[in-house]
Amino acid sequence: MKNHLLREARLKKGWSQQQLADFAGISVSTVERAERGEPLRIDSIQRLCECLDRTPEELGLLKNEDRIEGKEREALADLTNHLNTTGLWDDDVLSRGIAACQDLFFGGHPFEVEAILPLYCHHTTLLARQPSPFQKKAARLASQAYLLACELLADRENFGAAEQAGKQAFIYGEIADDTNLQVASLIGLGNIGFHRRLSQMALRAYQKAISLLDKATPLLRGRTYAGIAEVYAMRGQFQESMRAMGLPMSIFP
């Protein structure tokens, strides 16, 4: 459903979509998505509200389904408090905590994730670094946490820190002996290289991912081939790009 409230507020200022994007410090595609009624990240919502001097509700940006329910906040707070007070390994608590962080991030609430994700990275890496009966489980969760950190930092265009998080995700994916986590980490690193216009870095990451694809899921295989096709195109290697683009078709006919 189109967001007429935002469009009317913009037109009342006499602004085009591009002007609103410039004044708010966001991309014009974000403004277009908002006016189509698509969900936005919380920081984009805040910038639009500040620019137009309206509340999220007045701009039609915060619908009931976009809110974080009080119970979800309380549950996440309980998990975080458990880790802070006990300092003990609890596979279920950490799994649920990281899953909650993923839900918050992909639901458009990165600020909440930024505040608590380092805690989960810390607790999982403590045991992931040392040989123990819990090492592989801890490493798997650590890899998931660093993968999320990589996405969060890349979203903020803090590419240096995102690259370091991606490398940590890959290392812990190796310790966990989880090929899918390793490939996902390499896709993240390849994506960072692509956006930084570092084609050699991106190419190396995707080529390494391809060497692991025999044990990866079809979805990750498709994402890897699509990613390396983009890198080849950026490098002007159009024949290789077309060949790579055709490979996902063999995976998803």
Same domain, 30 and 74: no
Given this model, what pLDDT does residue 8 score? 92
CATH of the domain at 59: 1.10.260.40
pLDDT for residue 146 is more than 70: yes
Alpha-carbon gap, residue 123 to 9, rounded angstroms: 46
Domain boundary among 17, 38, 66: 66
Residues 62 and 119 in one domain: no
Q: What is the per-residue pLDDT for 69?
A: 45
Between 122 and 5, whose confidence is greater?
5
Say if residue 125 is in the same domain as residue 224: yes
* CATH code for the domain in which residue 168 is found: 1.25.40.10
Place 77 in a pLDDT band, splitting at 50, 70 and 90.
Answer: low
User: What are the structure tokens assigned to 169, written together?
Assistant: 């995700």
Q: Is the pLDDT of residue 228 over 80?
A: yes
pLDDT score of 80 = 52
The mean per-residue pLDDT over the stretch 164-179 comes to 95
Mean pLDDT for all residues in the chain: 84
What pLDDT, on the 0 to 100 scale, is given for residue 66? 44
- Based on the domain organization, do 53 and 150 belong to the same domain? no
Query: Which residue range forms the structural domain that includes residue 19?
Result: 4-66
Under 8 Å between Cβ of 227 and 194: yes
- Look at residue 252 and tell me whether its pLDDT is greater than 90: no
Please determine, for residue 14, whether its predicted confidence score (pLDDT) is greater than 90: yes
Give mean pLDDT, residues 90-100: 79
